[in-house]
Amino acid sequence: MSSCDYYLINSYDKPIGHLDLHKTNAGFKTCLDEVHLPSYYSRKPVEYLHGKDSLQRYFHLNYDNKGITNQSGYITFRFIINCEGTLGNFEIHELGIDYKEKKFQESLVVHLQELLLQLNEWKAFSRGDSTFDSFHFITFKIDNGELVDILP
Partner 1 sequence: MENWWTSYRNLLGVILGLILLQSCDRLSNETYAHLDANERRKISNEYLALAKTLSLGSPEAMRTLEKAARINPKNELVWQELSWPYLYNGLYKQWNEYMEKAIEINPKEWQGNRGYVKLTYLKDYGGALYDFEAHDTIKTDISHEGRLYSTHYLKGLCYLGLKNYDEAEKSFDQYLITESQKTGTYEIDATAYVYLGLIHIDKQQYKKALTYLNKGLEEQNPLADAYYHAAYAQFMLGEAQLAYEYITESKKLFEAKQYNKQRLNTVLFQLYERDLENLEAEINCFL
Give me the residues that bind partner 1 (CB under 8 A), please. 3-17, 38, 40, 45, 51-53, 74, 76, 78, 93, 95, 97, 99-101, 135, 137-139, 141, 148-149, 151-152
Provide, rounded to whole angstroms, the least separation between the CB of residue 9 and partner 1: 5
23/100 with CB nearer partner 1: 100
Provide, rounded to whole angstroms, the least separation between the CB of residue 78 and partner 1: 6
10/24 with CB nearer partner 1: 10
13/27 with CB nearer partner 1: 13
Amino acid identity of 96?
G
Bridge-partner residues for 146, per DSSP? 143
Provide, rounded to whole angstroms, the least separation between the CB of residue 5 and partner 1: 5
Q: How far lies 5's CA from each of 8, 9, 10, 142, in Å? A: 10, 12, 16, 45
**Of the candidates 78, 66, 71, 151, which has an alpha carbon nearest to the alpha carbon of residue 113?**
78
**Distance separating alpha carbons of residues 18 and 82, to the nearest angstrom:** 14
Provide, rounded to whole angstroms, the least separation between the CB of residue 137 and partner 1: 4
State CA 21 to chain mean position distance.
14
7/129 with CB nearer partner 1: 7
6/26 with CB nearer partner 1: 6
Residues 19, 79 contacting (CB under 8 angstroms): yes
- Residue 53 sits at φ, ψ, to 5 deg, of -65, -40
Provide, rounded to whole angstroms, the least separation between the CB of residue 55 and partner 1: 10
